Amino acid sequence: MKDFLFVFRDNGMPSNVSPDEMQAMTKRWMDWIGGIAAQNKLGDRGNRLFPSGKVVKPGNIITDGPYSEIKESIGGYSIVKANSLEEATELAKGCPGLTTGGSVEVREIREM
Amino acid sequence: MPLYFCKGIIFMKQTELIPHLFRTEYRKIVSVLYKLFGIEYIEIAEDIASDTFLLASELWGLKGMPENPTAWLYTVAKNKTKDYLKHHSIFTQKISKELKYSTETFHETEIDLSTKNINDSQLAMIFAVCHPCNPPEAQIGLALNLLCGFGAGEIANAFLTNKEVIYKRLQRAKEKLRAEKIKIEQPGLSELHERLPAVLLTLYLLFNEGYYSSSQDTSLRKDLCQEAMRLNYLLIENDYTNKPGVNALFSLMCFHSSRFEARINEEGGAILYEDQDTNLWNKEMIEKGEYYLNLASKGDELSKYHLEAAIAYWHTHKEDTEQKWENILQLYNQLLQIDYSPIAALNRTFALAKANGKKDAIAEAEKLNLIDHHLYYTLLGSLYTEVDNEKALEHFQKAMMLTSSNSDKVTIGRNIEKLKDLEGFKNR
């Protein structure tokens, strides 16, 4: 089994989400992660990221947030265990973020 | 047969009293002596405690019962210990360095059989027995032998194996404790955090051994559960070890044992949750479980015992509500993230069917790929029932092939019967 990083990208949370919708979304994430864990393929559930941040560029140029240039921002990450990139990609297909315009980047982790 | 009245034990016949005292007092006496002598000389501690009971059964039969049998046992055990030390000067010299007291003062020191020292000694022994230098199944055996006074034969019955296997396992485990020079003491505060999980795991496995064992000996199984609860309670009674995870595990045991009478039929076979008579559920135990689950929630620790206790709590609500199954599903989602097990994965999928419907659950179940487990096929069989009855039958038949347990075969057989009664199967 190898480790793969899932990087969750989203378009930012729409502003008009009701608490019920929010709760339903959380449940879908929990069920999805739970499903990966039930296959014994979850390495680390990872974390979610606050939307705001800073970006440091050469010459100590600091800008607000990563999203000034790209539309999507990283919303969180998890680590899964799979035998191949294909298998890991298959696991990513059920990600609830995909239904709201987000994406999952799947990358094999190379141990240092 | 005359009846006796003695302190704490009302109207118990002598023939019942000695085994009863053996159960309750032997382990107390022996743990104080274990702690006194150290792990090197546990057999001597056991000999002294056994001799004490042997003398009791001889003398009490001839002369009648002493007024306070427990105090009598303690006095005899103390004297036998002192005699032993006096008459084995070589031994005394050899171990005097390890004894907490020098040999001189030791003879004068009372051997302390106060409740406090008994509890402290038992607690110290729990940590020695559950030392991670031994594998879990050896720890369970040791716990039953050294902490609960079970013989190799009884342990073998519980583990469904033969006495020699257990005897050898116990000997090896004791050797290991000696070789590692494990001290019989409560670990320091900094070490406690590290050592407590191993203790809780052993108690959890000990309880499960009784609860899930396929042994037909119901009273033995109950004994194992009760012993696990007693040892767990010792950890709760002591402020030092009274941590949230300890309360969570105790709560789990309370919820589980509340169903003990309801889940085993007269032949010792299992009665499924759905078929249980809720009148047989022990309300008092359920309340106890809730009480300790509340205590466990203080602090920010969330162990697998918390999650399992919360799952067991929701199972004390018999009626199927959306809230019940949604909660159980989310608890299993969390449990699997911190501690995967095939059984949890199967139960999670069952909860998923109840909360999200069979379509979701079938898709998830197909991914589990637990092809060695009959329970996997039983789950698939019940998920496909009324969705695709042909497939359901295939799965039940596969489950039947994979299990060797008779009570499982009866359950699966009943599922197949139910399936055949359904529309479309009537003419087969």
Residue A40 sits in a domain of what CATH number? 3.30.70.1060
- Inter-helix orientation angle B42-63/B14-21, to 10°: 170
**Residue B6 — very low, low, confident or very high, per pLDDT cuts 50/70/90?**
very low
Of residues A59 and B17, the one with the higher pLDDT is A59
Q: Which residues in chain B are closer than 8 Å to A34, comparing Cβ atoms?
A: 329-330, 332-334, 336-337, 348
Task: Say if residue B30 is exposed, middle or buried (CB neighbours under 10 Å; 0-12, 13-18, 19+).
Answer: buried
**What are B80-118's pLDDT values in tens digits?**
988 888 777 655 565 555 555 444 445 555 688 888 899
B336–A38 CB contact, under 8 Å: yes
Q: Does residue B307 contact residue B335 with C-beta atoms inside 8 Å?
A: yes
Nearest to A35 among B340, B344, B364 (CB): B364
Do B289 and B309 touch, CB atoms closer than 8 A? yes
> Is A88 an 8 Å CB contact of chain B?
no
d(CA B225, CA B206) in angstroms, rounded, equals: 7
Q: What is the mean pLDDT of residues B155-183?
A: 91
Nearest-5° angle of CA B255, CA B259, CA B263?
Answer: 145
Q: How far is A51 from chain B (nearest CA, A)?
A: 25
Q: How far apart are CA B29 and CA B71, in angstroms?
A: 11
Site from B336, B354, B360 to mutate, A interface, most A CB atoms within 10 angstroms: B336
Size of interface A-B (CB pairs under 8 A): 44
Looking at the DSSP assignment, which residues form a beta bridge with residue A48?
A76
Interface list for A 9-38 with B (CB within 8 A): 27, 30-31, 33-35, 37-38
Q: A42 to chain B: which residues are within 8 Å by CB?
A: 336-337, 340
**CB–CB contact A38 B356 (8 Å):** no
CA–CA gap between residue B287 and residue B291 (Å, rounded): 6
Identity of the highest mean pLDDT range in B39-48, B389-398, B408-417: B389-398
Asked whether the beta carbons of residue A39 and residue B367 sit closer than 8 angstroms, the reply is yes
Neighbours of B4 (CB within 10 A): 17
| Domain edges within chain B | 1-113, 114-233, 371-428
Do the Cβ atoms of A40 and B340 come within 8 Å? yes
Q: Could you tell me how many helices (H) and strands (E) chain B has, helices first?
A: 22, 2
Span B399-412, average pLDDT: 87
Once rounded to an integer, what is the mean pLDDT over residues B203-225? 85
**R_g (Cα) of chain B, nearest Å:** 25
What pLDDT is attached to residue B213? 76
Q: Which helix (H) or strand (E) holds B150?
A: none
Tally of structural domains, chain A: 1
pLDDT score of B5 more than 60: no
* Amino acid at the residue B269: G
Write out pLDDT tens, residues A42-77. 999 999 998 888 889 899 998 887 665 566 788 999
**DSSP H stretches of helix in B88-217:** 89-96, 103-108, 115-129, 136-142, 152-159, 163-179, 189-212
pTM for the model = 0.86
Residue of B nearest to A32 (CA): B333
Among A20, A27, A87, pick the best mutation site for testing chain B contact (most B Cβ within 10 A).
A27
Q: Measured between beta carbons, which residues in chain B are less than 8 angstroms from residue A39? A: 345, 367-369
Least confident of B2-11, B112-121, B216-225, B415-424: B2-11
The Cα B114–Cα B119 span in angstroms is 9
Q: Compare CB distances from B330 to A30, A37, A38 and report the shortest one's residue.
A: A30
Q: What is the DSSP string of B82-105?
A: HHHHHH-HHHHHHHHTTSSS-HHH
Comparing alpha-carbon positions, the chain A residue that sits nearest to B343 is: A38
Percentage of residues in chain B with pLDDT exceeding 70?
A: 89
Please indicate whether, in this complex, the C-beta atoms of A42 and B364 are within 8 angstroms of each other: no
- How close B376 comes to chain A (CA, Å)? 13
pLDDT value for B1: 32
B144: part of which helix (H) or strand (E)?
none
Which residues span the domain enclosing A96? 2-108
pLDDT in tens, B273-318: 888 889 999 999 999 999 999 999 998 889 999 999 999 999 999 8
Closest to B150 in 3D by CA, of B13, B30, B9 = B30
Chain B interface mutation, best of A36, A39, A45, A80, highest count of B Cβ atoms under 10 Å: A39
| B420 has a pLDDT exceeding 80 | yes
Nearest CB partner across the interface for B348, out of A27, A34, A42: A34
Q: What is the ipTM of this complex?
A: 0.90
Give A 45-84 residues with CB within 8 A of chain B.
45
Of residues A34, A39, A40, nearest to B333 (C-beta): A34
B12 three-state secondary structure = strand
Of B326, B348, B356, the CB nearest to A38: B348
Distance CA B200, CA B192 (A): 12
Q: What is the pLDDT of residue B96?
A: 56
